[in-house]
Chain A
Amino acid sequence: MLFRCKNCGGNIVYNPDKKAMCCPHCDSLDSEEKIEDSQAIVPSSRICASCGAPIELKEHTSATKCPSCGTYMVVDERVQGQFTPHLIIPFKISKDKAKELLHKEFDKRPFTPMGFLSNASIDKMEGTYVPFFMYDYKSDMNYRAVGTKVRTWSDSRYEYTETSYYDIIREMNANFNKVPVDASIEMDDKLMDLLEPYNYHELEEHQDKYLSGFMAEKYNMGEKSLTPRAEAKVKRDSHAMISETVSGYATVTQAQESIVPTKLAVDYALLPVWEYVFNYLGKDYKFQVNGQTGKVLGETPVSKPRVVGYGVTVFGMITILGFLIRMAMLVL
């Protein structure tokens, strides 16, 4: 499907700044009409409803852009039925804002190569809705340990050390709401974890129109196969919560910890991510911007000639200053 402007016939996209469907051609707001695909459904390709060019579809792509005319389209059967997302956070950061955030984060790094974040390369950046499963869990925690507290004092002749031993007992439970785990093979798990947290107050019921103007994927694997990752997150956080209640001890030994997570519910959600890819010396460097909070991630490439040039400059400046200061001090 695609969204067409009732006023001018142009392709309407979701505008994060205006929080509305907006026609980039005639600036009409909310003038969209949904155009369903008319041709017979072929799994791996589509004909662009706007220009008629063929569009290749990757296995999990649920929204994409026509490479010929730039029209954004949604792959109907990948957002329907079992693939209907329950929830979505629409893009809140526009492309311009994402560019600005990337510049703000990385411009101060001196060793990035020429062309990094250049307009030519950054304009190709696309926003992607990444599929996530969100797990609700109840976690029961049980903890026992022996802790010691040490007190020292002294009189004129002796120094005394008193060691007190305590039985530490903690029993607690916690309800975890919507622990997110990405269901995309292409997206790096570690990066997706670092992009957290999203602000769940802005979670909405899914609407297809939010996908217009962006890339999207359906979930690549089922929620059951991702349960271990969700459980690991719950266990990690549970362990940390227990640790936070144990304080003031010099040593803690013989710790016995039991964490029992129980899965309560799962939601399928799409979360917004801007991804900028920069190729340097044959290697792709990926940078992510959280499409809602604006958090920026990524490891910048290092240009060796620049390292040498800048390093030598710093060395030269300090050497010159050192000798000049020495020269001046010798006559004082």
Chain B
Amino acid sequence: MQRYFKYFKIPFIITAVIALVCIIVRVATGSPEQNAAATNTESLISNNVFNYSGALTDSQVFELEALIAAVENKTQCDIAVITLNESLEGRYSSPANKWVMEYADDFADQNKMGYDKAYGNSIVFVDNLYREPSTGKVYSWISTSCLAMSQLSQSECESIMDDALENLTDYSDSDDYFAAYKRVVSLIPRYMSIESGARIAAENMKPVYILASALFISLIYVLINWKSKLGSVTTTSTTYVQNGRPNITRKQDIFLRKSVTKRKIETSSGGGSGGHMSSGGHSHGGGGHSR
């Protein structure tokens, strides 16, 4: 027992110090501060979920509304989730993948969306379940403006949808649209960096992962200490050689021939894109997704 405590003395002290720091942090940090309430009085819409496709049930809509209300407060952005199941072909002059974008931008402008003021901070997520016959694809879009536009880049919007919509395939009963839309909404504050990295990391650090890594580390510890090495070789090839080196009487490296082969280098090119202007004349950002 004495040997045990002597061996683990320093690890125990370190553990105790870290534990103390954690507990102090936990106790000293108060409840999160309250954010400002919405101040846009001109908005033409009072709810946040527009279930035009009918992909969600009433109770799911209700639950999603509640989630959005909390996220709106946290992000200070007006958020709308729209599900469609209709072709947008012929309505806009832009290419097929931008129809949902035009739809989302117009929706925000026409309804004077904004958390702080009309045409203010807003995020509109449109998921059109209709498979456009001209391209054979299902399109989604996240449209952003003002604060949301500056805090969510196009690639971030695309990442949100890539993550949340990855399990959706087609308009079928097996798809869990409710789970996917909840994920979209809850990912928004993460990508807007409203939540601290530490907190996101902590949420990802599930208890089972902690137990698994503790098990892994303790197994490594046991393995490292289990097999005690017998001893290493401390002689070299010249330990017993007179003068410590051989007499080299001939050492030649004679060039014989050479051969050359060549291989064509593959090249690639890339591009980029920025924000755009809606038909209503307001600046929007965002990104799209198709499946």
Residues in A lying within 8 Å of B, measured CB to CB: 106, 109-111, 141, 146-147, 154, 156-179, 191, 193-194, 196-197, 236-238, 240-241, 244-245, 295-300, 302, 307, 309-332
Contact = CB atoms under 8 A, between A and B. Distances in A.
9 contacts: A147-B253, A159-B262, A167-B254, A310-B4, A315-B215, A320-B19, A326-B207, A328-B25, A331-B26
Contact of B22 (A146, A298, A328): A328
A171 B25 contact: no
Given A162-B258, A299-B228, A322-B213, A171 B249 contact: yes
Contacts of B91: none
B250 A318 contact: no
B242 interface: yes
Given A160-B262, A161-B261, A295-B231, 17 more contacts: A159-B263, A159-B264, A164-B258, A168-B253, A169-B252, A171-B248, A177-B241, A197-B235, A197-B239, A240-B236, A324-B18, A325-B18, A326-B205, A326-B207, A328-B21, A330-B203, A331-B29
Given A161-B260, A174-B247, A237 B241 contact: yes
B225 A162 contact: no
Contact of A322 (B4, B25, B210, B238): B210
Interface in B217-242: 217-219, 221-222, 225-226, 228-242
Interface residues of B, number: 70
B249 A173 contact: yes
A299 B18 CA distance: 36
Interface of B: 4, 7-8, 11-12, 15, 18-19, 21-23, 25-26, 29, 196, 198-199, 201-203, 205, 207, 210-211, 213-215, 217-219, 221-222, 225-226, 228-242, 245-265
Contact of B210 (A109, A156, A300, A319): A319
A322 B22 CA distance: 10
A55 B246 CA distance: 50
A169 B250 CA distance: 7
B198 A298 contact: no
Nearest to A240: B237
